[in-house]
Amino acid sequence: MPNPKRRHSQQRSAKRRTHYKAEAATLSTDKTTGEIHVRHRAHVSEGKLYYKGQVVSEKAPLKA
């Protein structure tokens, strides 16, 4: 039986066996604001931070 002359790296094996694929993020429409946002994430609308249709914070966090 043929055998490999040199050992393959673990990274090479992992690349061959991977089943991960790039997927688009799932989007939802908020019932209270009507804005589209990423599911299960808080989002900013009109200076307020919303999560699950409720206001979490009146003052939105600053983006860096």
List, for residues 8-51, the tens digit of each pLDDT value: 888 988 888 888 788 899 999 988 889 999 999 999 888 889 99
Give the per-residue pLDDT at 60: 59
Domain extents for the chain? 24-64
> In Å, how far are 7, 20, 34, 35 from 26, measured between CA atoms?
41, 17, 16, 14
- The burial of 21, by beta-carbon neighbours within 10 Å (0-12 exposed, 13-18 middle, 19 or more buried), is given as exposed
- pLDDT confidence band for 63 (50 / 70 / 90): low
CB of 38 within 8 A of CB of 23?
Answer: no
Are 43 and 34 contacting, i.e. CB atoms less than 8 angstroms apart? no
Q: What is the pTM of this model?
A: 0.56
What is the model's pLDDT at position 46?
87
